[in-house]
Amino acid sequence: MKILVQREAFDLGAEVAAMSQGRTDIGAVASFVGLARDMNEGSGVQAMTLEHYPGMTEKALAALVDEANARWPLLDTTVIHRIGRLLPGDPIVLVVVASQHRGEAFAASEFIMDYLKTRAPFWKKEETLQGERWVEARASDDAAAARWIEP
């Protein structure tokens, strides 16, 4: 497991290569990259600043990955989330999951993103022509996370 919270950009290709280097048991790698959009809630976004809760963030991300490992037989997982000021088009978050077969890798990467959206302590503040605004949590993110609650 690799968990990073950093200001710098990340390199998807390098992360996938690092994960699979020297091993031949991996049959599937699924990845997700989230990018900063130029539009939100109907108005243009010129930049955003991501704040987090140092200490809790890393623990929360590791807990998400632990939970994914408990649900699927995964071979390795990388989660990188950026903080600081980002511009439209900049990558924000990376999730890479390796497993023997594609089903687990697809499912686990979606699960990790859905839980990250509702559990990891990050907050976005957007800069728009009308001024700065904190992004409000979305009910659709709660609904996406709720899909994974086991009976």
Task: Report the nearest approach of another protein to the CB of residue 39 (Å).
Answer: 16
Residues 90-119 that bind another protein (CB under 8 A): 92-93, 113, 116-119
81 vs 105, beta carbon nearer another protein: 81
Question: Is residue 124 at the binding interface for another protein, with CB under 8 A as the rule?
Answer: yes
Three-state helix/strand/coil letters over the chain:
CEEEEECCCCCHHHHHHHHHCCCCCCCEEEEEEEECCCEECCEECCEEEEEECCCHHHHHHHHHHHHHHHHCCEEEEEEEEECEEECCCCEEEEEEEEECCHHHHHHHHHHHHHHHHHHCCEEEEEEECCEEEECCCCHHHHHHHHCCCCC
Question: Is residue 9 at the binding interface for another protein, with CB under 8 A as the rule?
Answer: no
Site size toward another protein (CB under 8 A) is 28
Residues 53-92 that bind another protein (CB under 8 A): 53, 55-56, 59-60, 81, 92
Residues that bind another protein in the complex, under the rule CB under 8 A: 34, 50-53, 55-56, 59-60, 81, 92-93, 113, 116-125, 134-137, 141
